[in-house]
Amino acid sequence: MGYLFTSESVSEGHPDKVADQISDALIDNFLAFDAESKVACETLVTTGQVILAGEVKSNTYLDVQSIAREVIRKIGYTKSEYMFEANSCGVLSAIHEQSADINQGVDRASKEEQGAGDQGMMFGYATNETENYMPLALDLSHALLIELAAIRRENNEITYLRPDAKSQVTLEYSDDNKPVRIDAIVISTQHDDFADEATMLTKIKSDLISILIPRVKAKYPQYAHLFNDDITYHINPTGKFVIGGPHGDTGLTGRKIIVDTYGGKGAHGGGAFSGKDPSKVDRSAAYATRHIAKNLVAAGLCDEILVQVSYAIGVAKPTSINVNTYGTAKVNMTDGEISKVVETIFDMRPYFIEQRLKLRNPIYSETAAYGHMGRTPETVTKTFKSPNGEDKTVTVELFTWEKLDFVDKVKAAFGI
């Protein structure tokens, strides 16, 4: 008998994601002007207020208020009726200098021996059920909200949308673990107030099913066959959703780590990503294990894999590297034997992760909504402005951990 599996996503206007995006914008600005910056920045957003807190070691100074307001403006919180608006919200900064006790464990005379910024375990996952080697339910959940945000910004086909939204997709799988159909879709979207509340829910449900769903099917034709006439739709199931965003629910950095990663597939070590520079292995090693997992599956080593790595704070060499192929390995090796070969291909010391994936660049704002994994690598040019009016223009590679640049090395190492 088949089974059901569900993943969710949240929009860029969800309060927790507003916080993530502000934290990562600060990271990018610090790294743009001082690539060696050490930053751990948390953000809290609530009605009319942004609070920044954290630790920084950097040679640059930022106008954190302007950076936060620009992020909020870009997301779409630009009207006073939202009770959280870019120009009028308060921004309080409680950022202070990084602990010297922590820094002494990270910085070394030899950069190659740079210690891990914290202890902990990180996971990377990949599956061949989608073209980008991501779990399908999460990929679809992201796709629904990416397209909903596009419709909101166009302000043409649907004109009442506000920034806050959530989605959830339930898939039916066959006995051999293949996705067969979409069983249920949940979408809750913030909206303008309606004069006639009796017709409000009917219109929103009709618009999303007749406008949003066809656009998603057209944009992602590889998933069109999964849509069917028997899908159960829950559109704004509580009814009215006018009060939303940071006014409706306090947002905090790092509260959507499952949305950021694999939607409940595989595993998660527990550490958040946003607001952390790459010396924090919570972030860099999670990207590195995704890079490993994706290249192993793309090389044909297995259909699905979970890669775990762990660290001790201040120590460069991982305390463990482990893989689980869920019995899908195509080579005559145990998972333990595969792990030993993986160690010879990928150097998982923090400095080498930073160098391999080019993580000391301002590349993090783009990660802070719609998932850190499964995205498309691309090269972009970005411009940053310092408080003294200095412009810094840099060309950077985004989502380097999604590149399939180790496939040939994997094939050679495993004789595939």
Task: Consult the annotation and say whether 193 binds a ligand.
Answer: no
Q: What's 231's DSSP letter? A: P
CA distance 37 to 296: 32
CA distance 41 to 72: 17
120 sits in the region (left: phi over 0; alpha: psi -120 to 50; else beta) called: left
Task: Consult the annotation and say whether 139 binds a ligand.
Answer: no
* Sequential DSSP letters for 198-220: HHHHHHHHHHIIIIIHHHHHHH-
Task: Consult the annotation and say whether 240 binds a ligand.
Answer: yes
> In the numeric block, which tokens belong to residue 395?
């060309």
Task: Decide: helix, strand or coil at residue 123.
Answer: strand
Q: What's 367's DSSP letter? A: G
Could you give the angle at the alpha carbon of 163 between the alpha carbons of 382 and 231, nearest 5°? Answer: 115
Task: Consult the annotation and say whether 414 binds a ligand.
Answer: no
Task: Consult the annotation and say whether 65 binds a ligand.
Answer: no
**236 φ, ψ (degrees, to nearest 5):** 45, 60
Task: Consult the annotation and say whether 191 binds a ligand.
Answer: no
Cβ atoms < 10 Å from Cβ of 28: 22
Order of strands across the sheet that contains 320-324: 120-127, 304-311, 320-324
Q: Which residues of 359-393 are buried (b: 16+ CB within 10 A; e: fewer)?
A: bbbbbbbbbbbbbbbbbeeeeeebebbeeeeeeee
CA distance 86 to 13: 12
> Minimal CA–CA distance to 400: which of 342, 359, 360, 366?
359
Task: Consult the annotation and say whether 260 binds a ligand.
Answer: no
> Minimal CA–CA distance to 314: which of 119, 65, 128?
119
Task: Consult the annotation and say whether 256 binds a ligand.
Answer: yes
Task: Consult the annotation and say whether 340 binds a ligand.
Answer: no
Task: Consult the annotation and say whether 63 binds a ligand.
Answer: no
Query: Residues annotated in the binding site, as ranges?
Result: 14, 16, 42, 55, 98, 164-166, 240-241, 249, 255-256, 272, 276, 280
Query: Residues annotated in the binding site for Mg(2+), as ranges?
Result: 16
Query: Residues annotated in the binding site for K(+), as ranges?
Result: 42
Query: Residues annotated in the binding site for L-methionine, as ranges?
Result: 55, 98, 249, 280
Query: Residues annotated in the binding site for ATP, as ranges?
Result: 14, 164-166, 240-241, 249, 255-256, 272, 276
